A and B are shown apart, each in its own frame.
Chain A
Amino acid sequence: MAVAVPERVELAESLVEFINEWKDQPGNLIMVLHRTQLEYGYLPEPVVMEVARQLGTPASKLFGVATFYNYFKLTPPGRNRIAVCLGTACYLKGAGELTDTFSDQLDVAVNGVTEDKEFSLEGVRCVGCCGLAPVVMVNGEVHGKLKPDGVQGVIEKYRNGQGE
């Protein structure tokens, strides 16, 4: 049976620099994964294989760490990342209903990406703007005290690259 050889990829130059800088520091793994995700928006498998090779650490170890932590994503997000805060204050003030509204209007499941790759939808841990509950972040931009009837407006703001 043939064994698939993973495709070798060339890493971005700044990432290689970062890896070299951190290579010999103890406990570097999470910092390197953060830097990798910053570069690619998620952790593509061939990239993680190459990072592992350059660090001289087994890839299984990197995947083991990456899958433990919520922050690391192994699949690509949408071009616009919608993150509904699931902190307690937001939950009490209707975050569940907001999530459903986004899900319905975009026809996307939670933790999914729309067919045209424009939007991804996820629930995130408390973003700490509880005074603005319920809070939704799109590409890091905060929309506070959002009601279900305001969802359409938020989507339109970002559709087709308008929210850059």
Chain B
Amino acid sequence: MAYAQYCLICDGTACNSSQSERIYEQIMKYVYDHDLEKTCQVVKTGCFGFCEQGPIVKVLPDEAFYVQVKPEDAADIVREHLLKGRPVSRLIYREKDADSLGAVDKISFYRKQVRVVLRNCGFIDPESIEEYIAREGYQGLEKALFDMTRDEVLAEVEKSGLRGRGGGGFPTGRKWRFSKEVEADQKYVVCNADEGDPGAYMDRSILEGDPHSIIEAMAICGYTVGADRGYVYVRAEYPLAIRRLEKALEQAREYGLLGANILGSDFSFDIEIRLGAGAFVCGEETALLMSIEGERGMPVQRPPYPAVKGLWGKPTVINNVETLGNIPVIITRGGDWFAGLGTETSKGTKVFALTGNVNNSGLIEVPMGITLRDIVFNIGGGIPDGKAFKAVQSGGPSGGMIPAEHLDTPIDYESLAALGSIMGSGGLIVMDEDDSMVDVAKFYLGFTVEESCGKCVPCRVGGRQIEKLLEKFADGEGTPEDLDKMEAIGKTMISGSLCGLGKTAPNPVLSSIKYFRHEYEAAFKKDVAETA
């Protein structure tokens, strides 16, 4: 069933909160008024990524990219463009006075992007399993079940070089292997969708824009490791993502893609949703499992790792949403294809939420190895109001600040770690000359102090002590000894904390001292500053 025209309306959370629903209703109304419903398909899709310019409406095959659309623009879009074939030029996105009509790929925001995980976001109706299937959906699962042994699937994932996208960067294939090789009467697959990093919303966008890709990936993982139950642990603060995921689960069951004997094979698998409740530490895998078990989400000592001893003591593979989003493509196109993208140690692409003081904020997917300069200045369009770039912060409260002199670093897990930051889940916050690094460090540390579960001393006490010292600097009362103390406490937290939260919490402070020491020195107490 092909239509002559397609009208795609972004219905991600950002556009949805700017009346995309109302735009859809209005466009539908005019489409029916002019009897266009048989030739033009109107679709509400997941996030297009270019959130800065939302709400966005795209008309195909003309590739008209309409931005900042209002409900009252619906009449023109339908009567002029859909009916008479005359694109509405006042709504078309323009870049440096160049019209983007017919060339969405040429827009600098999109030109350097490579969409693997976001392959369907913004192209299909996430509430339609048919549209997912029409774009090779569930072919990976079918291929795994009927053309491949469990070992072959595992080999493909290992060959791809895929590493965890939630922050840690652990090789996904190796995690699966640990779990597969354990003998157990029950195993689990868990999708970590507890996206707590402030300023990161890639997982939510994937769940909202392409929920079936996660279901398919979890089933493939279940087949490979020998699990028949899966859980998606998702933030309660993401109502739209939860609703779309619930709908997708129902559809998958109706189609026999979940449940007993999937597609007539002897493999059975089903998935349940479990809601988070606003605790950042639950993104840590052992804390997450405690939370699924209905307990206070406090981390426990590893090893044993969850892949061996996890949920209710059973082997459990925990993968983040974005990690899973890669799996169906790795199976259909092969591990070698995937490994052809990216760098030596970091394969594939990474989705980033590019925000802060940057012209084009939004959700982007780029090949590993791209430079920060490319991201901030080409995709992001630089800094607003002609201000100077100061730093980009990656990895959220667990990451560090990266200054201008390292803008040409190719991004991968190792290079970011070498700079004192981490890949993290994919938040990239751009800061300009007016942003105070002391203030931003204090913001992040305040966050982790509040979110520390309090179980281990280095994190609970250390965080609070650094925060107190940072307050002195915020008040212009710091001393050189305070700087040394913060570094010493930070190092203790890194080596002594029980889980990832405490081990990484000092990163924003330590990296800002490393690269922006002068800003701390400028906040020394007056008599100290004079003698220095």
- Answer whether A and B are interacting partners: yes
Which A residues are closer than 8 A to B by beta carbons?
26-31, 33-34, 64-65, 68-72, 86-89, 91-93, 124-133, 140-142, 144
- Given A26-B312, A127-B237, A132-B17, A64 and B296 contact (CB-CB distance below 8 Å): yes
Q: Which A residues are in CB contact (< 8 Å) with B292?
A: 27
Q: Can you report 6 A-B residue pairs in the complex whose CB atoms are below 8 A from each other?
A: A26-B294, A65-B296, A69-B277, A88-B356, A89-B199, A132-B17
> Once the chains bind, are B296 and A87 in contact (CB under 8 Å)?
no
A-B contacts besides A130-B199, A130-B355, 8 pairs, CB < 8 Å: A26-B293, A34-B275, A69-B278, A89-B356, A92-B357, A128-B200, A129-B13, A132-B18
Q: Which B residues are in CB contact (< 8 Å) with A141?
A: 17
> Once the chains bind, are A88 and B355 in contact (CB under 8 Å)?
yes
> Once the chains bind, are A128 and B355 in contact (CB under 8 Å)?
no
Q: Which B residues are in CB contact (< 8 Å) with A72?
A: 277-278
Q: Which A residues are in CB contact (< 8 Å) with B54?
A: 131-132
> Once the chains bind, are A126 and B293 in contact (CB under 8 Å)?
no
> Once the chains bind, are A88 and B198 in contact (CB under 8 Å)?
yes
Asked if B137 lies at the interface with its beta carbon under 8 angstroms from chain A, I say no
- Given A87-B198, A88-B199, A30 and B277 contact (CB-CB distance below 8 Å): yes
Q: Which B residues are in CB contact (< 8 Å) with A93?
A: 356-357
Q: Which A residues are in CB contact (< 8 Å) with B275?
A: 30-31, 34
A72 to B237: give the CA distance in the assembly, Å: 12
Closest to B289 in A: A27
Asked if B427 lies at the interface with its beta carbon under 8 angstroms from chain A, I say yes
> Once the chains bind, are B198 and A125 in contact (CB under 8 Å)?
yes
> Once the chains bind, are A87 and B278 in contact (CB under 8 Å)?
no
Chain B CB within 10 Å, residue with most, of A64, A71, A92:
A92
- Given A30-B275, A72-B277, A144 and B294 contact (CB-CB distance below 8 Å): no
Q: Which B residues are in CB contact (< 8 Å) with A144?
A: 14, 17-18
> Once the chains bind, are B201 and A27 in contact (CB under 8 Å)?
no
Closest to A132 in B: B14
Within 8 A of A (CB), among B422-445: 427, 429, 431, 435, 440, 443-444
- Given A31-B274, A69-B277, A70-B279, A125 and B199 contact (CB-CB distance below 8 Å): no
Chain B CB within 10 Å, residue with most, of A29, A34, A125:
A125
> Once the chains bind, are B312 and A87 in contact (CB under 8 Å)?
no
> Once the chains bind, are B294 and A125 in contact (CB under 8 Å)?
no
Which B residues are closer than 8 A to A by beta carbons?
13-14, 17-18, 51-52, 54, 195-201, 204, 236-239, 274-280, 291-297, 312, 353, 355-357, 361-362, 393, 396, 427, 429, 431, 435, 440, 443-444, 453
For the complex of A and B, list the 10 residue pairs with the smallest distance between their C-beta atoms, beginning with the closest.
A131-B51, A142-B17, A128-B201, A29-B294, A69-B277, A70-B278, A71-B278, A130-B355, A88-B199, A89-B355
A125 to B293: give the CA distance in the assembly, Å: 23
- Given A34-B236, A71-B278, A88 and B429 contact (CB-CB distance below 8 Å): yes
Q: Which B residues are in CB contact (< 8 Å) with A124?
A: 237
Q: Which A residues are in CB contact (< 8 Å) with B52?
A: 131
- Given A126-B201, A128-B201, A131-B14, A91 and B443 contact (CB-CB distance below 8 Å): yes
Chain B CB within 10 Å, residue with most, of A27, A28, A126, A131:
A131
A23 to B355: give the CA distance in the assembly, Å: 43
Q: Which A residues are in CB contact (< 8 Å) with B431?
A: 92
8 Å CB contact of A86 from B198, B312, B362: B198
A129 to B20: give the CA distance in the assembly, Å: 14
Q: Which A residues are in CB contact (< 8 Å) with B453?
A: 68
- Given A65-B296, A88-B355, A125 and B51 contact (CB-CB distance below 8 Å): no
Q: Which B residues are in CB contact (< 8 Å) with A64?
A: 296
- Given A87-B198, A88-B443, A92-B435, A129 and B294 contact (CB-CB distance below 8 Å): no
Q: Which A residues are in CB contact (< 8 Å) with B17?
A: 129, 132, 141-142, 144
Q: Which B residues are in CB contact (< 8 Å) with A125?
A: 196, 198, 237, 278, 280
> Once the chains bind, are B361 and A131 in contact (CB under 8 Å)?
yes
Q: Which A residues are in CB contact (< 8 Å) with B297?
A: 68-69
A91 to B199: give the CA distance in the assembly, Å: 10
Q: How far is the CB of A84 from chain B (nearest CB, A)?
A: 13
Q: Which A residues are in CB contact (< 8 Å) with B276?
A: 69, 71
A26 to B13: give the CA distance in the assembly, Å: 32
Q: Which B residues are in CB contact (< 8 Å) with A65?
A: 294-296
Q: How far is the CB of A153 from chain B (nearest CB, A)?
A: 17
Q: Which A residues are in CB contact (< 8 Å) with B196?
A: 125-126
> Once the chains bind, are A128 and B204 in contact (CB under 8 Å)?
yes
Q: Which A residues are in CB contact (< 8 Å) with B198?
A: 86-88, 91, 125-126
Q: How far is the CB of A103 from chain B (nearest CB, A)?
A: 18
Q: Which A residues are in CB contact (< 8 Å) with B18?
A: 132, 142, 144
A64 to B355: give the CA distance in the assembly, Å: 36
Q: How far is the CB of A158 from chain B (nearest CB, A)?
A: 16
Q: How far is the CB of B475 from chain A (nearest CB, A)?
A: 16
- Given A30-B294, A89-B355, A129 and B51 contact (CB-CB distance below 8 Å): yes
> Once the chains bind, are B279 and A30 in contact (CB under 8 Å)?
no
- Given A88-B396, A88-B427, A92-B431, A131 and B278 contact (CB-CB distance below 8 Å): no
Closest to B16 in A: A142
Chain B CB within 10 Å, residue with most, of A31, A69, A128, A141:
A128
A133 to B429: give the CA distance in the assembly, Å: 12
8 Å CB contact of A71 from B237, B294, B312: B237
Chain B CB within 10 Å, residue with most, of A34, A93, A126, A142:
A126
A31 to B294: give the CA distance in the assembly, Å: 8
> Once the chains bind, are A70 and B277 in contact (CB under 8 Å)?
yes
Q: How far is the CB of A147 from chain B (nearest CB, A)?
A: 15
> Once the chains bind, are B355 and A133 in contact (CB under 8 Å)?
yes
> Once the chains bind, are B293 and A92 in contact (CB under 8 Å)?
no
Q: Which B residues are in CB contact (< 8 Å) with A89?
A: 199, 355-356, 361, 429
